[in-house]
Amino acid sequence: MAFIGCRDSDAPETEPVVSQDLSAILRNKKLVLLTESSSTSYFLYRAKPMGFDYEMALAFAAHLGVKLEVKVISDLNDMFEMLNRGEGDMISCNLTITPERLNYIAFSTPIDSTGVVLVQHSEENPERYVSSKEQLGKVPIVVHNFSIFRQLLDNISDNVDGLNVVPASGQTDTEDLIRQVALREIDATLADENVALLNQHYYPDLDISLPISESLPIGIAMRVNDHSLHDALDAWIELPKTQLLIRFLKKKYFDSPREQKERLESEFSSISGNRISEFDESIKKAAAIIGWDWRLLAALIYQESRFNPEALSYAGAFGLMQLMPETGARFGISPADKTDANVIAGGKYVRFLDNYWKKHIHDPQERIKFVLASYNIGPGHIMDARYIAEHLCLSPDMWDANVETGLNLKSNRLYYDLDAVKNGYCRGSSATDFVDKVLATYAHFQMIEK
């Protein structure tokens, strides 16, 4: 099992080149989180995004009344640079607050704290076992260059004879190094104590009893010039309900190792597995019929049925892909066909919709949104929405803020009574929400390798 954690490295001292602040987030109705795939920050389990940092950001976005977008970045240096370029609004990944970082980044009120410990294998041989800081020279210690761990070792090097610090290579991160210690591939590393404690439950032979630093605060990073976002986040963190949430999430992700181990070792976990559902093979076959990434089709199915083959809607839509009986019959299945045949028939219907829109929407990525909306509410209503968009001097070939706007107006008599609107009233917001949810789910599912 490979664990991936936030590499706690010091970023270059870059200055923000933009200021997007809270007003821009509210205007765009979107909060962008920069984080890493790890056992505590962000991962996928049985098609559901999870993680302490993810759930914190999701709750804050809900508090602001905006959507959350997650960008998974493997290197923290890149995160700082992306943040200062305006490609994200905040960084959260068990990130310690240090005086050095405060020179170029702002932090929220601390949401947790943790010390740094030595991670070594339990040894009966006193020649290999480190019991005090003065004995750190007994074994090579592998950490990342420019990390807080390297900085701590450099600070005590004058008091340690023979200190041998070995730079970690490539994209290997803290939890990978912990695993290497457990497998005796390396002698020792440093880690945040909360992460080390969690991993000790996976690898009982680890020894993490030697503290290297006192407790350090953990916070959420922002640009130094985003003052109103900083104020809003700090005010939210101080709320009693947020403090309750923090305690709950700490228990869920750090203090419940048995449950966390079950999640992370599952074949349906993005940390150690590569499956989204038990129907993945059927979904891959159906996606090949369409020419789609199978994870996009899986996201559609998740929104339709939550991967429940017994799902049946009040209108009679059935199975994994929630096909209506007449649509199912058109593609050769009945409500009795709930799994493989249902998915294949649904794939054929999606291909039909894709072919339908090809003559109008030539960009394949843009066409996906028209296909998804048509799957939810029918192509006739989407054609009407294109006309309404033209009526408003918007583009009939672009979805976001164009045809999407026209579809949302189809519940307004002023628009659904227009002569060129052939299919009358519909609650278009249900279809536009469906498109947004499928694409957001697809973004999460992309953590699973193709």
Please name which of 119, 88, 108, 105 lies closest in space to residue 5, comparing C-alpha atoms.
119
Give 134-163 pLDDT, tens digit per residue.
999 999 999 988 788 988 999 999 889 999
CA distance 395 to 39: 44
At residue 258, the pLDDT reads 85
- Six-digit token string for 186: 């390396």
Does 233 score more than 50 pLDDT?
Answer: yes
CA distance 187 to 314: 61
- The model's confidence at residue 6, banded by pLDDT at 50, 70 and 90, is low
CA end-to-end span of the chain: 19
Check if the beta carbon of residue 372 is closer than 8 Å to that of residue 363: no
Check if the beta carbon of residue 67 is closer than 8 Å to that of residue 30: yes
At residue 5, the pLDDT reads 43
Q: Do domains 21-106+224-265 and 116-207 have the same CATH topology?
A: yes
- 159-173, 272-286, 305-319, 336-350, range with the lowest pLDDT: 159-173
At residue 109, the pLDDT reads 97
Q: What is the chain's length?
A: 450
- Six-digit token string for 258: 């048995």
At residue 423, the pLDDT reads 96
Does 190 score more than 70 pLDDT?
Answer: yes
57 burial via Cβ count (<10 Å: 0-12, 13-18, 19+)? buried
pTM of the entire predicted model: 0.86
Concatenate the DSSP letters of all residues of 347-385 into one string. HHHHHHHHHHHHTT---HHHHHHHHHHHHHH-HHHHHHH
- Six-digit token string for 32: 């962008």
Percent of the chain with pLDDT over 70: 95
CA distance 338 to 328: 11
Sequence ranges of the domains in the chain: 21-106+224-265, 116-207, 280-445
- 52-61, 146-155, 181-190, 221-230, range with the lowest pLDDT: 146-155
Does 70 score more than 90 pLDDT?
Answer: yes
Does 63 score more than 60 pLDDT?
Answer: yes
417 burial via Cβ count (<10 Å: 0-12, 13-18, 19+)? exposed
Give 371-417 pLDDT, tens digit per residue.
999 999 999 999 999 999 999 999 999 999 999 999 999 999 999 99
Is 304 catalytic? The answer is yes
At residue 3, the pLDDT reads 37
Give 105-136 pLDDT, tens digit per residue.
999 999 999 999 999 998 767 788 999 999 99
Considering the domain 116-207 in this protein, what is its CATH number?
A: 3.40.190.10
CA distance 168 to 424: 63
Tokens 């028209």, residue located:
370
Backbone φ and ψ for 157, nearest 5 degrees, come out as: -60, -30
- The model's confidence at residue 274, banded by pLDDT at 50, 70 and 90, is confident
Which of 1.10.530.10, 1.10.150.130, 3.20.20.480, 1.10.8.60 is the CATH number of 280-445? 1.10.530.10
At residue 445, the pLDDT reads 95
- The model's confidence at residue 261, banded by pLDDT at 50, 70 and 90, is confident
CATH fold of 21-106+224-265 reads: D-Maltodextrin-Binding Protein; domain 2 (3.40.190)
Render the burial of 332-364: b for 16+ CB within 10 Å, e for the rest: ebeeebbebbbbbbbbbbbbbbbebbeeebeee
- The model's confidence at residue 337, banded by pLDDT at 50, 70 and 90, is confident
Catalytic residue among 55, 175, 304, 404: 304
Q: Which residues contact 234 (CB under 8 A, 6 or more apart)?
A: 108, 109
